[in-house]
């Protein structure tokens, strides 16, 4: 007896023949060699079992009165091109063997055959199938890794990496996600990232700014409408929820919606259906909802401006994006990315950022966040004549110094803790010759913390 090959699972073999005696003998042989045999009397029954069983290997006679072995081979390849099919025949010719191989057969064996010869072929077929499966999984993993790496939103600071890890964790689920954060922090970027990592990535990612449209038009865009439901509704229109079927729907600025719209959104999340404007029947929808807002929705609930039940339906997974001032380490890498994109669009050489310009960018508090940084650099690229971005090409609000003297002629009262801290930081900076990295080291804080404090004090 030939020793069974190591395998992660016992191979299932479908044996197809029109002779009961052959099926019985092969069943006994294969079971004794560690396979799981299934038999089919004739080709027609073989194809039926093939679809139900989805075996790992098929062993079939070629000449059968109802359906031939080549027809079984064709049906198997349509179901799964990687199933090894071994053909048996008592009347082998070179032409028939070539035809079988050309049509995708794994092997062609002539009756009568030795048992050990057949078992050896089945072992190799099993190893071949397992190897193909492992290679497919490996290729999928490589493609997924390359795709995820290439589309990963830019940033290496801890607050940003925490956001990305959370997004990567929730992406494979179908849970509703609520993204919060100031304007310009990249809420739609994260929403797209979640969609791209999800099982819905092959379907649409649609988005709408809920604060950009009046209530009547917003509801028509979201839920659709039927002909004649209002002035100008000259034909039926499918809403964006229906258009996002099997995909993801990003509702930006969800906090701007009216109570009436909020009720209808709640119905979508609860019952997974929409009623178009003017319609009487509901339509089932299957779209993952990702919402975003720069408002404090819990505060809006207290003020009576947002429904608590809708908030809890949206806030299944909460993702909060940090402002750019809290991720100073990312400014340089974001700036380099924006400059590279600008150069590609303009077909120009990428402009460099000198240390003085970078210091200015790091010291500014960026109330408009990443969007403001991108716009400022676009302006700077246009106004900088050389190969680098000059500090004077940046907007004045960014380069303006707002420092106030620490010592005045007035006798101060008890100094605040912030004033003492500010004076101490300036003293350390002076002693370190203005070198911020060494100053941060002397102060025992991260450089990003130092940059944030200087930005708050108005110091470059």
Average pLDDT of span 239-251? 92
For the ranges 80-94, 320-334, 352-366, the lowest mean pLDDT is seen at: 80-94
**pTM exceeds 0.85, yes or no:** no
pLDDT at 254: 95
pLDDT at 441: 78
| Cα(59)–Cα(94) distance, integer angstroms | 20
For the ranges 138-152, 196-210, 229-243, 429-443, the lowest mean pLDDT is seen at: 138-152
Contact 252, 292 (CB under 8 A): yes
172's tokens:
């494979």
For the ranges 60-74, 130-144, 152-166, 185-199, the lowest mean pLDDT is seen at: 130-144
Residue 425, CA atoms < 13 Å, CB-side half-sphere: 25
| Cα(226)–Cα(214) distance, integer angstroms | 19
Domain ranges of the chain: 12-134, 158-322, 325-399, 401-460
More confident residue, 213 or 8: 213
Question: Do 12-134 and 325-399 show the same overall fold?
Answer: no
| The pLDDT of residue 3 is above 50 | no
For the ranges 40-44, 93-97, 453-457, the lowest mean pLDDT is seen at: 93-97
Residue 166 backbone phi and psi in degrees, to 5: -65, -45
Helix (H, G, I), strand (E, B) or coil at 109: strand
User: Residue 364 — very low, low, confident or very high, per pLDDT cuts 50/70/90?
Assistant: very high
* CATH fold of 158-322: Rossmann fold (3.40.50)
| The pLDDT of residue 60 is above 60 | yes
User: Residue 19 — very low, low, confident or very high, per pLDDT cuts 50/70/90?
Assistant: very high
CA dihedral sign of residues 209, 210, 214, 216: positive
* CATH fold of 12-134: Rossmann fold (3.40.50)
Contact 315, 324 (CB under 8 A): no
Please, what is the average pLDDT of the chain?
Answer: 85
Exposure string (b/e) for 52-76, b if CB count within 10 Å is 16 or more? eeebbbbbbbbebeebbbbbbbbbb
What's 401-460's CATH class?
A: mainly alpha
| Cα(267)–Cα(273) distance, integer angstroms | 7
User: Residue 139 — very low, low, confident or very high, per pLDDT cuts 50/70/90?
Assistant: low
pLDDT at 95: 67
270's tokens:
């609860």
| The pLDDT of residue 271 is above 50 | yes
211's tokens:
């604060």
Radius of gyration in angstroms for the set of CA atoms belonging to the chain, rounded to a whole number: 34
Residue 69 backbone phi and psi in degrees, to 5: -65, -30
Residues sharing a CB contact under 8 Å with residue 298, sequence separation 6 or more, in sequence order: 311
Could you list the beta-strand ranges (E) of 9-98: 12-17, 36-41, 57-61, 85-89
First to last CA, the chain: 82
More confident residue, 176 or 437: 176
| Cα(11)–Cα(57) distance, integer angstroms | 7
User: Residue 140 — very low, low, confident or very high, per pLDDT cuts 50/70/90?
Assistant: low
User: Residue 458 — very low, low, confident or very high, per pLDDT cuts 50/70/90?
Assistant: low
CATH of domain 325-399: 1.10.8.60
Average pLDDT of span 334-343? 89
Region of 231 (left: φ > 0; alpha: ψ -120 to 50; beta: rest) is: beta
Stretch (H or E) spanning 133 = helix 115-151
Q: How many CB atoms lie within 10 A of CB 120?
A: 14
For the ranges 114-123, 261-270, 355-364, 406-415, the lowest mean pLDDT is seen at: 406-415
């Amino acid at each position: 007896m030939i020793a069974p090959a190591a395998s992660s699972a016992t191979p299932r073999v479908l044996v197809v023949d029109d002779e009961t005696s052959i099926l019985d003998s092969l069943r006994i042989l294969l079971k004794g060699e560690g396979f799981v045999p299934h038999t089919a009397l004739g080709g027609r029954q073989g194809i039926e079992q093939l679809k139900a069983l989805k075996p790992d290997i098929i062993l079939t006679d070629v000449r059968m009165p109802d359906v031939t072995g080549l027809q079984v081979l064709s049906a198997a390849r349509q179901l799964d091109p990687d199933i090894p099919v071994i053909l048996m025949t008592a009347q082998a010719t070179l032409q028939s063997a070539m035809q079988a191989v050309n049509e995708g057969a794994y092997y062609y064996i002539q009756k009568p055959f030795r048992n050990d010869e057949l078992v050896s072929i089945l072992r190799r077929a099993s190893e071949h199938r397992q190897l193909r499966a492992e290679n497919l999984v490996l290729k999928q993993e490589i493609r997924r890794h390359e795709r995820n790496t290439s589309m990963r939103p830019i940033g290496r600071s801890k607050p940003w990496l925490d956001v990305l890890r959370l997004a990567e964790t929730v992406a494979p689920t179908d849970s509703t996600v609520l993204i919060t954060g100031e304007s310009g922090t990249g809420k739609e970027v994260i929403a797209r990232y979640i969609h791209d990592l999800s099982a819905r990535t092959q379907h649409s990612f649609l988005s709408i700014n809920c604060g950009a449209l009046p209530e009547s038009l917003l509801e028509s865009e979201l839920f659709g409408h039927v002909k004649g439901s209002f002035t100008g509704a000259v034909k039926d229109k499918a809403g964006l929820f229906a258009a996002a079927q099997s995909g993801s729907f990003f509702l930006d600025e969800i906090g701007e919606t009216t109570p009436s719209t909020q009720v209808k959104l709640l119905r979508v999340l609860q019952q997974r259906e929409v009623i178009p404007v003017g319609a009487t029947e509901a339509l089932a929808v299957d779209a993952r909802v990702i919402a975003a807002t720069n408002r404090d929705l819990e505060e809006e609930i207290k003020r009576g401006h947002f429904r608590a039940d809708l908030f809890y339906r949206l806030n299944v997974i909460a993702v909060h994006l940090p402002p750019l001032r809290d991720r100073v380490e990312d400014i340089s890498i974001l700036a380099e990315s924006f400059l590279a994109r600008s150069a590609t669009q303009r077909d120009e050489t990428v402009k460099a950022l000198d240390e003085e310009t970078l210091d200015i960018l790091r010291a500014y508090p960026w109330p408009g966040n990443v969007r403001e940084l991108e716009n400022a650099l676009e302006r700077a690229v246009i106004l900088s004549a050389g190969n680098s971005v000059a500090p004077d090409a940046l907007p004045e609000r960014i380069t303006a110094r707002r420092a106030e003297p620490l010592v005045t002629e007035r006798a101060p009262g008890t100094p605040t803790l912030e004033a003492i801290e500010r004076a101490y930081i300036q003293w350390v900076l002076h002693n370190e010759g203005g070198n911020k990295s060494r100053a941060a080291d002397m102060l025992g804080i991260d450089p990003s913390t130092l940059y944030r404090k200087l930005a708050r004090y108005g110091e470059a």
